[in-house]
Each structure stands twice: as C-alpha cells, then as structure tokens.
C-alpha cells in the first residue's frame, strides 16, 4: 500500500504575518476542496493535498485565541527595544515566543485521511519531537495537562523544549510546534510561556552545551514526522503550494 504524499517546504526565515497568511491560503484551499467534494460523486472528487512547512521567524510573541494577554510582560516600548512583534492568533494555547534558532513546523493536514482525533494528532506531533530528542541522547516527555514536550517532568527541574498550538476546522489542521534548537532563551523572560509560571524553558543547545547543526536537526524532525504519520515527504517549492 502506497504512503500518502505530503508536500514539504523549508521556507527559511519569514515574518510571522507572511507565514500565517501563507498557511491560511493553503488551509482554505483544502477546506474548500473538501466542501466541493461533498457535492460530487466519488469518481469526480479531487484529492486534497497535505503540506508540511518548516520556517524560522524573526523575534515575535504570539497569543492563542483563549490565551491571557496578561502573560505578555512587555509593553509596546519594550517590544520595540528588543526588536519583537506581537500577534493575537487563531490557534489554541496561550502565549509563546518565536525567533532565530527555533524550528517552527506547520503541518496542514486533512485528518480525514489519517484519524479524526485532535488529541491523538497532538500526541503524535509530540512524539515527533520526543523521538528527535532521543537521537540526541535526551529523554523528552509529556507533562500531564500541558501540551508540548518537556524534560525532567515531575521534578523541580521540569523545563519545556517544544511548545505546540494548533487550529483545526473540518478536520484540516494548521499552526503546529516551536522547537528550541539554538534559541536565545532570554526572550522568554518577557512572557509567562504558555501561561505556566512554575516551569522553565530550555533549548537543545543549552541541554547539549554546544551549538546545534540546524540542517541535521531539521532532517531528523522531518524523518520522524514521515515515519510516525506514515507519509512520504515530497520537497516542493513554496510557489507551487498554492492553486494546485
């Protein structure tokens, strides 16, 4: 049985707004295709496309739709002084930071082709990062009731290395994860990350005590994503992802 293809593009460094708009356009095309297919016979239906985007953002803080604005500790003047932007978003979760040295992943998947279970979807995304950490000799874990991937869960030293927040409509997903590779962790001092006051944030660089080869890390994450979702990643130029 052939594996489902997923179009894969590493966008490089894009502003948060540009990447959000790009995601929304792909997401909308998939949702509209599914709506149109419901009016067609099985023979007439056109298959939906799945997409995985890798991207790095300039310094930015984003707040989920149910998040608490009070978890942003910097005013407009301070944001300007540290070169950071702020956005309210339509994803789940609270506030987080994106910036250089961080691997942000945005899967835009039609879950009708996999499993219609958001809980399972999030746990699978977490497993992608947990498996990647294992490649580096680290034991990643889940923290009960707190989405994302952590180290030393259940101890006073618990710390988050990957945040997650997604949106889904008609079983189509967008947004995703933020995995700290060589991230400047000082930027987390201006927020209460994910609204969690009693746990720290870390990066792969801090845990290993050396700079991370980001090309290698991306390849490991992509490989585990393909394995766990049982798909084939097909490298696709960004300008070919819309209108297909």
List, by residue number, the catalytic residues. Answer: 194
- Nearest-5° Cα angle at 166, 29 to 157: 155
**Residue 8 in contact with residue 233, Cβ under 8 Å?**
yes
CA 67 to chain centre: 17
Rounded (to 5) percent helix, strand, coil in the chain: 35, 30, 35
Q: What is the DSSP letter of 209?
A: T
Q: Would you tell me the crossing angle of helices 214-229 and 118-135 to the nearest 10 degrees?
A: 140
In whole angstroms, give the CA distance from residue 204 to residue 103: 11
Q: Where are the alpha helices (DSSP H) in the chain?
A: 16-37, 76-81, 118-135, 204-208, 214-229
3-state secondary structure of 4: strand
Burial 147-174 (b: 16+ CB within 10 A, else e): bbbbbebeeeebbbbbbbbbbbeebbbb
**Residue 37 in contact with residue 50, Cβ under 8 Å?**
no
**Residue 125 in contact with residue 177, Cβ under 8 Å?**
yes
């Amino acid at each position: 049985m052939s594996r489902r293809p997923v179009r894969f593009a590493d966008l490089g460094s894009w502003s948060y707004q540009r990447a959000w708009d790009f995601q929304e356009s792909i997401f909308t095309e998939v949702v509209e295709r599914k709506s149109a297919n419901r009016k067609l016979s099985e023979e007439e239906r056109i298959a939906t496309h799945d997409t995985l985007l890798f991207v790095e953002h300039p310094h930015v803080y984003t707040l989920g739709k149910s998040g608490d604005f009070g978890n942003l500790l910097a005013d407009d003047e301070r944001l300007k002084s540290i070169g950071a932007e702020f956005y309210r978003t339509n994803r789940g979760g609270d506030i987080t930071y994106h910036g250089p040295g961080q691997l942000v992943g945005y899967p835009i998947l039609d879950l009708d082709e996999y499993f219609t279970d958001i809980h399972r979807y999030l746990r699978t995304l977490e497993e992608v990062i947990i498996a990647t950490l294992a490649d580096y000799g680290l034991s990643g874990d889940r923290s009960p009731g707190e989405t994302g991937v952590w180290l030393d869960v259940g101890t006073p030293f618990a710390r988050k290395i990957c945040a997650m927040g997604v949106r889904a409509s008609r079983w189509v997903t967008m947004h995703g994860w933020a995995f700290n590779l060589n991230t400047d962790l000082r930027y987390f001092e201006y927020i209460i990350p994910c609204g969690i006051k009693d746990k720290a944030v870390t990066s792969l660089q801090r845990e290993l005590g050396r700079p991370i080869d980001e090309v290698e890390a991306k390849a490991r994450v992509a490989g585990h994503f393909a394995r766990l979702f049982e798909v084939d990643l097909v490298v696709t130029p960004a300008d070919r992802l819309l209108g297909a």
